[in-house]
Every structure is written in structure tokens, then in C-alpha cells.
Structure 1
């Protein structure tokens, strides 16, 4: 009630008289055992004196929004905005910790007219029996459409294909071809059929009174579930199981692993819901329960896989990728490389021993001596001097054990610092293009992906032998060129440019335009 330089006067709740608050003294003591008397002695290390009071702060009601207090003195008698009293009273955790500094009356509790009107409309607009039935029908149709919608699954698949096409097409060309073929088939046999099927079951749901129990509709739905489940299993069951991607690029490896995990998870859930619909028909409650169970199960499986990966060591056997002629040899070389990296230290990257691309070259060409080993891409004299004997020993033991007859030694391209002539494979692609074949036709005939064919033609675009308009439509050229001019000097990666330009612009389009810009 009063404060001066030497005194503080206070008054307790429900007390008519003030009293003077005295300064209290506290000590900071240390206790120890006296070794001679075996008694506990107290040693005062310091003291502090202060008034036994706690600070409190004043705050406006608006400022207090979002805060929570153990105790609060509330003065809301002069509230002037709707909801203000509610905000003030709801700041305190308990009723016992709340003190009202002034009386609240009806005029202080202000309600927004919009809220009143909304409440009134809700009462007036409560659906009748017919409206409720139509809402139930609409909800049934929405969930049924979710069961037979494959748009999100297609997006997951295309994301995996894009990553492989951009980063892994050299390592796994055959696997990439399989995924592109599966993607094309998925569009025709699943997505387009699903669009037609949507029209059929939607019409039946809307025209049938007792749609949930209609035998004709249920028969059509179960038949559809059977068709789509079989198509998904035929397209992706073996493909997903056989997909083994290994790369020394940690960023690409992580990017692919995340996209592939999402694809497998969504495929697992979709197959699971289709299987139940095929077996028992479709109902709202069964579909929701089954989908929730499958999603939780997929998350649990993913967590288990992550935990196993976190506790796995380099010595564990790796899963062999698909585009390898001798998978057993590949596994043996990977184990040897991991052991060499471990010997260098716990954090030594495996690619410092030998690159994965070099291992693939060894596996697919089976070199017999140091000279053949040196002709393999990504293998230099130092690698041959340091590890050549061991590598050849592993290869020779495998060849002898597997009883393999070596073919004529062949590598994709000679490894020379200054090659005397251009890569013949590029010349072949260029000649075929000059004969009037499209990029897609050349890719199909030569067994490459379109990205590889465009890569073959890029040197000829730079030299001006091929016009960029022969590879990319003018409309796309203008879009890509405009973006490159606006972001000149930023040195952006292909993926950044692709993301900015959208789905209509392909990686091959960007690479070709970049080659033409370099030529200029």
C-alpha cells in the first residue's frame, strides 16, 4: 500500500490493517563432517537480505493472448471488444489462482454479431433427412474414388524415374528402361482405365437408392479391385523387389532412397486396400479402418528398416544392383572395398579406395591383367599399383570358381587423356539423327534412354552441326532461354532449373539448350 526509501507497507487479503514488511536474512551454508569430532559442522559461505516479496507484472488483455499463468489478478470491467473477457478469464490455469479486481457485469461481456448470426444460421440450416442421405452418398463416392484413384501413385513413380534419369542413367540403364516401360504401361492400363471406371461407378452410385447394398454395384467394384490389383502386382511386384541402387554419391543415394520408400509405402497401402475391397466389397467403415491400419503398418516397417540401417555395419553384405553381369563378383568387390575403407579409419569414405563406377567396369569386363585393368574407366595407375593385384586375384578366383569362359576384353570407351578420335558411339548416334530418326527412335534401336542420346548429340549442338530447333520445340527453347537469362551467373544445377520450369520441360530439353548456349 505504501513504499518509501526505508519501508514497505502491505495489506493482506480480507485484512483491514496495513503492516510493515521487514527485511529477511538468508544464509548460504556449507555442511561438512569434522574428521576429529565426527560431527557435522556448518560453515556460512554467504548471506543475502531482501524483502520477502515476489515481483508481479501488469499486462493488457490483448497482450496476454496465448499466455498461461498460475495466478492472475484480472481487471476486465472496462472491456471494449468482443471475446476480451473470455481471453482474460482463460489465461489462468485454475479458479483458485484467479482474482477479479473488479466486478463483471453483462455490459462487459461482448459477443461478435457475426458469431451470433453464424450460430443462428447453423440452427436454421441443419440438414433434414434427405440432405443427410445425399451427404452420406457424396462421402461414399469420395472414398470410393480415393480407392480407385492412382494419381498420387503415378506422381511417386515419376519422381523415382526422374531421379534415375537425371543421376543414375549411366550406372543402371537397363533398370531405367524397365521403370520407364512400367511407367508407360501404368498410364495406359491403370490410370486411363481408372478414369473410365470412375465414370461407370459414379453413375451407378448416383442413380441407385440403396447404393451401399446394391449387388450390381458391389460386383462391379470387386471386379475393378481385382483388375487393378493384378495390374499393379504384374507391373511392380518384381520390379520393386529387384531394385537395388548403389552409388557413392550420398546426396543422390539419400534422394533416391526417400523417393523409393514413398513409392513402396503407397504401393503397399494401395494393394492392401484393393485386396480387401476385392475380397469383401466396399464399405466406408471397412475402407477407412483398413487404410489406417495399412498406413500405420507401413510407417512401422519404415522405422524398423531405418533402425536396422542405423545399426548395420560396412561388413554387412550389400544388395546387388540390377545392371551387373556378375552379381556375386560385385558383392565380393564391395565387401573388399568396405574392408579397405574400414582399415583406413571409421569415417573414411569408401570411394577413396575405388569408385563404384570402376567396380562396375571390373565386374562387367573381367580383366585378366594390369594392362586390361588400366583400360577400365575411372581406374588410374595409382589404383593399379596399389590394389591391382588384389582386384585381379578376386576376379580370377571368381572366374575359376564360376567356370566362366572369358570373352574378348571390351570396355565402353578407351581411357586416354587425349583420345585421337571422337567417341564412336556418339558418331553412330549422330549419323542416325542425320538420317532423319528422332531421339526416341534412336534410343529404342540402340537400347539407351533418351537422356543418353541427347548427351551423344550435345557436342554436335555446341559445334553448330545440329540446330537446337531440331531437338527442342521453339516454345520450350524460349522458356528455358528466358530462365537462363534471368538467372545468369547463378550456376544452378539441372534439378533446380527443372523444378523451376515445371513438368512440361524435360531434362533432355534443358541439357540441349545449355549445349546450344555454350556454343554461342
Structure 2
């Protein structure tokens, strides 16, 4: 379980915005301030239904999520938020072609409809038009066309001062008429609903004041001559690092990094050993977090590509070490200044897909594929791009004059101190070129007092929003309508009767929807006036409304239970019963939400502290509460009958006075099978043989059993008596006679 520094107020405040508000958030921070730690903590501790996405395959794997394009099935190429086609451009997607080509399964649609929190990691690499396409899809699928992102809260995580979005000149020529820049913050959706700008301030990677100051100046385009002079004290062209000091070269191109690693490996004596990673299922080879074929020798400088698991963290993503020995397909590693050896174990990275679990009311991860390999790579060199997010104690920066925007900052900020820096080339002022549009966006950050005030306002809004959400019946009505419409292709016993039942249930749900729509309009007015009258009137109206809706929901549950009792005795209804179970869960959860609204309004009226009200709202969404809801729901539906259940279903119908022939027709079974079911209860005394057969038939069968000496076998008796007697009737008499013998035996003194 990921922990966090409790003294870090900016970290805590960001958590509150995520968990206790519905506000969109841009979470940023300088290199080494804990953005990755924050993401891990949210993944493990947030109660909201969430998904984590990233712009690239590698970023998605590292974040433990999936790519933007696979999650939303986005088209490649530019997107323009318009209905009009671009003349001469067939590769440009607009709103019309976006929805026309959107092939979402029913499970993916349900996932997007249930989503509450969307986390976009490495957002600096995401383009504005991509975000607008996501906004359009969510509005469309969630049927909230006027609400940004269809009401989903979005958490953007990234550092805009690092790597920018990739866009070629042709694409920018198409997009520049709509967008001020390719950066995500210039998406039209953000103009309508801008996120709050939150920055993590506490730097964990560096602690030298002068180095931190230089990094800040590089980041903000404020580098002074003194800063460059200080950096150039570490300019050492042709520097040959001592082997034991574990320097890593940061360069601008993959080919250069690969060349250095290959040359250094060849210099080592002996033959290299190859370790092949294992790919299973669906895993994009272009997003491999480690080499598929890893070639190593003793003495090779390596870098870990994943954090160690378990409580004792022996290594982290980016830690440098050396291969001490290889033997029997085992790899041993040593770290600088430590003589002990670490026996390396393989790690597994997963490619996941998100699914909505209706019964548990949460979003779950499904593993589509995996890659298993030793979590390391050769590390005499690495590209600046791939070094983003890593930490080094000693690094040689070999970039020449080919720095792209943000690369100087990324490269320098990988280091923990200036003492570990070596420059192969000088840094020219023109290489430090932070985009001025990024600097302008950064000015939207409010001061601490303003952020705290907005947090309190958003928390209050979150509480009142949960009040109105409790009385929204759109989702429940839509789900029942979907169930009703599915009868067109559903195969179910006594279909016409089932359709009539579903139609009645839908009518009741639609009636609730009409009343709830009117009530929510009243509720909106009451909330605005609530504080002035001490929330008394609000609580009174919510209490009265809850009584009305509870009664209506109970009617729906009673109708559902009656329908289930009629259906579950029939054959081939397992899938249908599961569908009915989903409706039951929807109704039960709505009851829970309304009960929560009463508690919240009572708390507001009694002056309960905001923190306690927020805790109540969070508790209602916690996994334990969801499990309790499932347990509270009447267990009127079972997907798999227990042993003896099918016989007991026949018994219950028989006790209701239904003849055996009617029960057989109702359950779509033969009369002989129903007779056998009822015979099952003769030894228990729950049924008497005379309840099933007349005396004369019983006597005739008894004599035939004695004459044939058949014991428990029915066939010899049936053959003797003919078609006037069924196997079920014979089985009932055998059960009766054996029950009588058992009673006699129990009466004999021992």
C-alpha cells in the first residue's frame, strides 16, 4: 500500500480535491515532487469509479492504465470539433465522423456511463484536439450534451515544462484555425470548464538550494548568465568516467544510446548471456518496458526499470547497479558502496482493460496480456526522453546543440545534485526555450488562501450534489427500459407474460422519473436557500420525498420478487435471472442513495462539521458499503440452484394447491419429473403419499413391488403394471414404503 508524507500539505489538499469534490484538477509539480507517488496513492485509495489513461503505450504501462486511444477508441489523425468536413482532408475527423465510426460495445458504453473519475497521466504529451474528442464522446455516451466530459471528473497529471505534445506541420496547419496551441490546456472543453491548478511543492529528489534555484530558472525561461556559468563548471568534453562511479550518459537519440550500450558491453570480457522475456496474451511490443531479449555480461552497468515490490524496497525505477555474476540462468546485482549481492527476480507488467462490475458497482481491471522479464536494461546510456521520471546520482549529458523544448530541464532535473553532473557540450541560451504559452498557463495558479477557500466551496457543493444525485432516476429508468426493449430478441418462458410485467415495471419507473424531475427543480431552489433557514426546510422536504420514493421502490421490489418466483421454477432461465438481479441491485442502490441523502440533510440541519459530512459521503461509496448493499438486497434470485432447490420449487407450487399437471406445464417439465420431485419429500414427512396418489393406486403399486422384488428399481414394476402407472408414481410409493421401514427400524430396541 502506497503511503504519503503527512506533512506535505499540497499533497493532502490535492487528495481532498480528488476525493471530496467534483472539480477538474491539473496536478503538476517540478521533477521529483511526487506526482507518480500521488497517482499510485489515488489508484489504491480513491473510492470513486476511476480509470487511468495516458497518451502513449509506455506511459500507460508505467501508470498501470491503458492508452487514451484504446480506452476511447479514438481515431488517429487530427480531430476538429465541428460538424463540417475539411475540404480535401479525408484523414480529419469531425463530430459527425467521430460518432459514425465509434464502434463501442455495450460493456464499453456501460463503463463510460459509470465512470466517475478519469485520470490522464503524462498530460503534457496530450494534444488539445485529442481532449476535445474525449469530451465529445463522454457527452454523447453519457447523454449529457451540455456538461463538459458528460459529468466525469478529470484529473490531469503532468509537467508541462517537460516533453510537449508531438504534432507535425501538416496537422498543425489543419488545427491552428481552431486551437491557440497544441497543448491540452487550449482544448475548447477546458475553456468551458477549466481545472484548478495545483502544484506539488516539496522536492524530494534534490536538496541543494543553488541547484534547485538553477532548475527553477531553466524551467521558467529565467536562466541568468550566472546560472549558465555555474552549470559550465561541469563542462568536461571527452570525460572518461571511472568504471566504479556508475555514470549514465543522457543523449537525444535512441541510436546513440544503443551504440554506447553495445560498445561498452563488447568491451567486457567473456560471452554475453541472453535472457528472453515472455509475452502472453495481448501486449504491444512497441510498449515494452524492458528489452525483449536482454543481453548481459558480468560487469555490465544496468538500470532498474521498475520499483521493487514488498515492504523492503531494494531498488527503484532508475537505480543504477552492476551485474556481479551470472550462473544457472540466475542474475546477481551489486550496488555502488554495497558489497552484498541481490539475486534478481523477474517482474511482470500487465496490459489491462477496464470493465464495470454491476454487482459490485465498481470498475475492475482485466488482464489482457503480460510481459515478464528481468526489470532492468543496460545503462551506460539512455535517451533524455526515456529518462523522464527517473532519478540519477551521476549523469553525463551529451546533447550537443540539438535540445528540443523542455529537454534541458528534463535532463538536468534527473540528477540529485550538481556534483553528479558532467556536460559533454555547453548549454546555449537558445536551447532553453520553454514555450511562453506554458508559462502563461502556469500563471493561472492561485495562492494557498484562494485554493483553500475554493476547496471549501467545492466540498460544500459536493455534499449538496450528492443530495440531488440521490433523487436522479434517469439511470434506473434507462436500465429498466433497456431490459424491456431486449425482449424483442430475448428467449424466455411465457414471454408475453414477462413482457407485460416489464412494461408495468417501466411504467412505474417512468412515473418516478417524472416526479423526481419536478422534485429536483424544487431541490435546486431549496439548496440555494438552505443555509439561510438552517437547512430545516431542506431536510423536511428530503425526508418527505424519501418516504414517497421508498414506497414506490418497495413496490418495484415486490413486483420483481413475484416475477422471479414465477420464473425461477422454469428451465433455461439462468441468464434471465441474472438480468433481473441487476435490476434488483439498481433499485436497492437507489434506496441506499436516498437514505444517505436523508442522513446528509439531517447533518446539515444539526450543524455537523463539513469534514464529517464528507466522510459520510465517502463511506457510502467505499467497497465495504457496496458489499453491504449487495447483502441487504433480497436474495430472491440465485444464478445456480443449490442441491434440492429444484425439488423444493415443485413442493412450494404443490403446497399452493396447484395440480401436478399444472406444475409440470408451468415448469416446462414432465408430470413424471414433478412426481419424482414430490416423492423426494415423502421420507422427510413434508408430503404424505396420499397427497399424491389415491389409496387404490398405492395398494396396486405396493403389491407389484412385492411380487417383482424390485427394491428401488421402477422399471420392473412399470413393465408389470403398464402405461396406467408412471415411473414417478412408482417412485413415490417406493419412497413411502422405505420411509415406513426406516420408522420401524428406529423403533426396535437396541
Same fold (TM over 0.5): no
Higher helix share: 1
TM-score between the two structures when normalised by the length of structure 2: 0.33
Higher strand share: 2
More RCO (CA 8 Å, sep 6+): 2
TM-score between the two structures when normalised by the length of structure 1: 0.45
